[in-house]
Structure 1
């Protein structure tokens, strides 16, 4: 139920982005919805109905690669809600939208649309269209969501440029880029966690201090220097962003010659962080 509520909220946010910023400014949002915008401009056909029709072939591709029935039910839910709300909001929101400034429409349209897309992803669904292709690239090829979004939506932007003008197409690229970043942040979080790897000759002392002061677990990994061929333990731990400076100072006090690398993590599951639920374990 929580996933379906997230998908509903995400589809609503996307529909608002369409009617408040993108459709009034003739800015394509990418994918099937972007093509529907272009066709709607010339024919007056319903954007929502065209989104439903255009998603049929890509839906079959998603069924094959993104989870069968589980993918199907969530994606159908997202597509139908987005299509219906996009058409319904046309009766409520003025055709001119919020502003006629292309820069503001590009930035806020991309931001709001991307947040909605990220909420749909967080609900383990997709918004259909090229989002399906983007998610396949993201999961199968390791391409970041931002890059995958740009690749799959390039054709729609070109169509917008041919239909209207290339200035609007360039702004459309801004929309797609911003929405890709927003989708990544909304679906994976702000990356407030940090990972630390510490190469030191005093692993026991540093581990004890980390567990005592920061109350974080530490894993000691065996390591060998490629140049010296000497064995050196490597400490690995996960901390929050606010604890980074504390960890640096702690390590400096114990072993000023230690080598430390700080990385970024999107999520940590297990003791000390979010619990690893049975359903999450199955999905991973």
Structure 2
């Protein structure tokens, strides 16, 4: 048992490191291949870093690498994550930010296309996918992630929506300083990035599941053991076709947990009828079980 836990731990570490490297490469491609050549400000700490780098170059002709500014801006976020989330989260945040900063520095600036709209869309797609992929595997991508995740846990608002709110303010500031047309292109990129992140990272999306089963004594313990979700049971229901007595179980889970529920039902009661309702709204308390 101990060996299995140790093996599982190292498999998780290797997976997270691999995902962190993939994120870093994709993120640097979005910045160096699309945002920078297209004069698109990405928002977040990267947008702030872009703005500060441009201001320094215009004011005193000082070339400060975006990667350096980006890393320094992340330090306060490391501190927030340390106190508000947990140490493991901070460790992988530092790793992801270090990988990303290094990738930004060594990735060449390539002008694939000069059209700002195309640069905005493709930069947003690549960035949104990379961020969603990292968050899906429990890795913070630095930037404002710690702040965004803290707010998501407190409010239940999606990661993409919170990101767009913060980034909108930052890009409007950049537009005021450097030109409104590029601010609007940047908003397009932020919108695309936020929507792509939400498509990949689905832990905040909730669904209501109704299970009709003749084996509630087996199904309920299995679901509660793996999902740790509350379940409302309606006993002594019957089907109008054959009038067999059955139980109706109702629970709310995240889209991310659907695969777990499906696997459990296939194992303990493959004959059960399972209905899933999407786009629901929660008015009561819904516990966020995972860090991200």
Distance 1:41 1:222, change over 3 A: same
Which of 258, 273, 277 aligns to 1:268? It is: 258
The answer on 1:32 being equivalent to 2:22 is no
Q: Which consecutive residues of structure 2, in runs of 5 or more, have no partner in the other structure?
A: 1-13, 58-62, 215-222, 224-230, 244-249, 266-288
- Do the aligned partners of 1:145 and 1:184 also contact (CA within 8 Å) in 2? yes
Is the Cα contact below 8 Å between 1:110 and 1:176 reproduced in 2?
yes
| CA shift in 2, pair 1:274/1:56, >3 Å | farther
* 1:31-56, Cα deviation, whole Å (9 max, x unpaired): 11111112223423101111111111
SS in 2 for 1:45: coil
Aligned ranges for residues 132-281 of structure 1 at < 5 Å?
132-188=146-202, 196-197=209-210, 207=213, 221-222=233-234, 233=237, 265-268=255-258, 270=260, 272-273=262-263
SS at match of 2:156: coil
**1:204-254 Cα distance to aligned partner (Å, 9 max, x none):** xx757xxxxxxxx9x98329xxxxxxxx95x9xxxxxxxxxxxxxxx9988
Are positions 1:12 and 2:25 aligned together?
A: yes
1:113 aligns with 2:127: yes
Counterparts of 1:274 and 1:117 in 2: how far apart (Å)?
A: 29
114 and 61 in structure 1: CA distance in 2 versus 1, 3 angstrom threshold: same
1:55 to 74, 84, 88: 74
Give the Cα separation in 1 of the matches to 2:97 and 2:126.
17
Residue 18 to residue 196, structure 1, CA distance change in 2 (3 Å): same
- Quick one: distance in 2 between partners of 1:49 and 1:166? 27
Aligned alpha-carbon RMSD (Å) = 3.6
Task: Report what 1:88 is aligned to.
Answer: 106
Tell me the distance in 2 between the aligned counterparts of 1:11 and 1:274: 35
Distance 1:114 1:270, change over 3 A: closer
CA distance in 2, matches of 1:220, 1:110: 41
Contact 1:194 1:265 in 2 (8 A): yes
Contact preservation (8 Å) 2:132, 2:197: yes
8 A Cα contact 1:11 1:120, kept in partner? no
Equivalent of 2:90 in 72, 79, 95:
72
Q: How many residues align?
A: 229
Q: What is the TM-score normalised by the length of structure 1?
A: 0.69
- SS of the equivalent of 1:222 reads strand
Give the Cα–Cα distance (whole angstroms) in 1 for the partners of residues 126 and 240 of structure 2: 43
| Contact in 1 for aligned 2:43/2:170 (Cα 8 Å) | yes
Displacement of 1:112 after TM fit?
0.4
**Is there any run of 5+ residues in structure 1 with no aligned partner, and where?**
199-205, 209-216, 224-231, 236-250, 256-260, 276-280
Once the two structures are TM-superposed, the CA of residue 108 in structure 1 deviates from its matched residue by 1.0
1:151 Cα offset (Å): 2.1
Structure 2 length as normaliser, TM-score?
A: 0.67
Q: 1:221 to 1:117 in 2, by over 3 A?
A: same
Q: Is contact 1:71-1:125 (8 Å) kept? A: yes
1:247-278 CA deviation, whole Å, 9 max, x = no partner?
Answer: xxxx99889xxxxx9x9833325464289xxx
Cα 1:221–1:149 change in 2 (3 A) is same
